[in-house]
Structure 1
Amino acid sequence: MRAFTVPGTGAMASVTDRPVPRPGPGELRLKIEACGLNFADLLMEQGKYQDMPEPPFTLGMEVAGVVDALGPDVEGPSPGTRVAVFGGQGGLAEFGCFPAKRTVPLPDGMSATHAAAFQVAYGTSHVALHHRAQMQPGETLLVLGAAGGVGLTAVEVGKLMGATVIACARGADKLEIAAKAGADHVIDATSDDIRARVKALGGADVVYDPVGGEQWQAAFRVCKPEARLLPIGFASGEVPQIPANHLMVKNLSVLGVYWGGYLKFRPEVVTDSIRTLLGWYAEGRLKPHVSHVLPLERARDGLELLRARKSTGKVVITP
């Protein structure tokens, strides 16, 4: 089979021929139909991700496909079932073996492309806003990087939860996409004064930040008392420092969010969230935005789209 594999520490991934894997205890094998790319794939290739596998390994954290075989003593889902799964790695290939207990059956009518673009982005936003921030209807949510993979889902999920959503992104095209996803107000990070604009809108109760850097600093200064700040990632390359005295003065809370971490110590947080989100999808309340669908041979191009911030929503690879 073909797989987009990192051969060693610090080496760049490439498409190579590898043996079709056999599922072990607790695993099933998927014939992979689609794999969603994440910024974490870039970090993993660079050896900078917080949860690194030992090389060689195949990139690709979240996939959708058809169950092809079951490992020893695995009772289901049965071969032929369409499922999605967050495996953490192994998705950019024609076949992959993943923990059976993590698989999620797909609703009727959900395409493999949408399923592969769904779990990490929507799951991160829902767990962040519902479980971590416990955001309430009527609160104001500021979303940075609002046209990106996770940011756009935060706009959608925040609006469904009853928030007034302020979306911050780069350029008119991206702001238009955020507005279509439900943003009440938009801010152009390339030309607008984020601090002044949000302050004029009354400040933020919740800040959702996958960017870091200067945008975090601006958002930090427009928080209302008892606001909650959610660091999701650091696409700017700069991990912000947090002045504890400012937290104290405004009674602010900074709540770290690593969606994949819950699979290790509280998996029910993830499974309950995904169940809710799939229900919303089945009702037509969530509409995944996929800006690029590329074949496996162009996986490198897909990663470059993320690196250069030229994609909106998700990039999906179809082996």
Structure 2
Amino acid sequence: MRTTAEVVMGVEELVEVVLPGPVEPEGLEIRRGTVPSPGPGEVLIRMEATGVSFAEQQMRRGRYYDQPAFPFVPGYDLVGTVVTTGEGVEPGLTGTRVAALVKVGGWASHVLVEAADVVPVPDGVGPAEAETMVLNGITAWQMLHRKARIRTGQTILVHGANGGVGSVLVQLARTAGVTVIGTASARHHDALREQGVIPVDYRTEDVAARVRVLAPDGVDAVFDHVGGRSILDSWQLLAPGGTLVSYGTASTRDDTGSKQWPVFKLLGRVWLWNALPNRRHAYFYNIWAGQALAKSRFRARLRADLIEVFAALQRGDVTARIAAQLPLARTADALRLAESGTIAGKVVLNP
């Protein structure tokens, strides 16, 4: 059996997937090197599962609004086992399976993470299952319970109900006793109906008109990752007292020009709508909001919400929607699959 020291001294090799610039998936590069050692307050995680989210699809085009300069290692979240700990970290954490939200760096065999940012994965939950619940689960939980503050008996509209975030969101909402209308292409409608979701085909139907038929008095909340013109319809579909949660600009993924401008436009609309004398509310959700001003509070909230999501997974309130699992060496294939629009759930990468 290899010891922790042997691993860190280079018996195991560091493998990273590098995004060198705005490239097609085949332009991703594999970089190899020495496994790093954790510094004070850090842990070294051997990755067991990481994922392909919409953020990476934007990043490879240079379209994610606050991505780092090229080249860099993408990977928004990961699950893995703590190999060793740095100074000031409880040594007993070694050998523990943990989850972490990192924004970049997750597409690697080994990742350094601040110990304060890791959350233990409950016993009995596999790495791929847990991975689908990190970014997607926290996002869904916070939008439902911290922003929209949904209540039993309400009706909500979820755009992209078959996607990574959407699939978790609709399950959490149904568990809370909420009626869910979900947009998706027709191939996903049977699966949505099985979950108690009312499906609407965004490709062949007038979504706004159909939702008005289903909810004549408006919906209590809309969760919109599309942006662009969709956000205008989403606002108009709200009932008095309703809440719009915008959390992306998917419609601008293939656009050119400023990557910040679509976000600035959304923020401007949100500010204007909230300034109007009406009973409706709008938010632009950013999972990193508050980190810079109150890091300890941000971490505590993130930890608490991920623990809630893992508990829901253990109870069976939500099921991990894994579209496919591919090895890190096939990240290009994984990225193409995630971008194809043909899958339900999340594409997971393994070592």
Partner in structure 1 of residue 68 of structure 2? 53
Partner in structure 1 of residue 8 of structure 2? none
Shift in Å at residue 250 of structure 1? 4.4
1:68 aligns with 2:68: no
Structure 1 residue aligned with 2:307, among 275, 284, 302?
Answer: 275
Partner in structure 1 of residue 162 of structure 2? 147
| Number of aligned residues | 316
SS class of match (2:301): helix
Larger Rg: 2
Gap runs ≥5 in structure 2: 1-13, 254-261
TM-score with structure 1 setting the length: 0.91
Shift in Å at residue 209 of structure 1? 0.8
Shift in Å at residue 10 of structure 1? 4.0
SS class of match (2:123): coil
What is the identity percentage for the equivalent residue pairs of Structure 1 and Structure 2? 29
Deviations 1:189-216 (A, max 9, x none): 0111211211112221100011223433
Distance 1:141 1:72, change over 3 A: same
Distance 1:99 1:128, change over 3 A: same
- Superposed, 1:92-103 pairs within 5 Å as 92-103=107-118
SS class of match (2:276): helix
Structure 2 residue aligned with 1:178, among 183, 192, 197?
Answer: 192
Distance 1:201 1:15, change over 3 A: same
Structure 1 runs, 4 residues or longer, greater than 6 Å off: none
SS class of match (1:131): helix
Partner in structure 2 of residue 191 of structure 1? 204
CA contact (8 A) 1:156 1:182 kept: no
Deviations 1:204-229 (A, max 9, x none): 11000112234333322221112110
Distance 1:220 1:263, change over 3 A: same
Gap runs ≥5 in structure 1: none
SS class of match (1:151): helix
Mapped to 2, the partners of 1:64 and 1:124 lie a distance apart of 17
Mapped to 1, the partners of 2:28 and 2:273 lie a distance apart of 44
CA contact (8 A) 2:245 2:283 kept: yes
Mapped to 1, the partners of 2:178 and 2:299 lie a distance apart of 27
Mapped to 2, the partners of 1:64 and 1:245 lie a distance apart of 39
Mapped to 2, the partners of 1:260 and 1:87 lie a distance apart of 10
Mapped to 2, the partners of 1:274 and 1:226 lie a distance apart of 28
CA contact (8 A) 1:294 1:318 kept: yes
CA contact (8 A) 1:207 1:228 kept: yes
CA contact (8 A) 2:152 2:176 kept: yes
Deviates more, 1:207-216 or 1:241-250: 241-250
Shift in Å at residue 16 of structure 1? 2.0
Deviates more, 1:211-220 or 1:95-104: 211-220
Deviations 1:83-116 (A, max 9, x none): 1111222211111111111111111111110111
SS class of match (2:284): coil
CA contact (8 A) 1:194 1:215 kept: no
Partner in structure 2 of residue 259 of structure 1? 287
Distance 1:25 1:63, change over 3 A: same
Deviations 1:28-70 (A, max 9, x none): 0111111011111122333332333344421111111111011
SS class of match (2:150): coil
- Superposed, 1:207-246 pairs within 5 Å as 207-237=222-252, 239=262, 242=269, 244=272
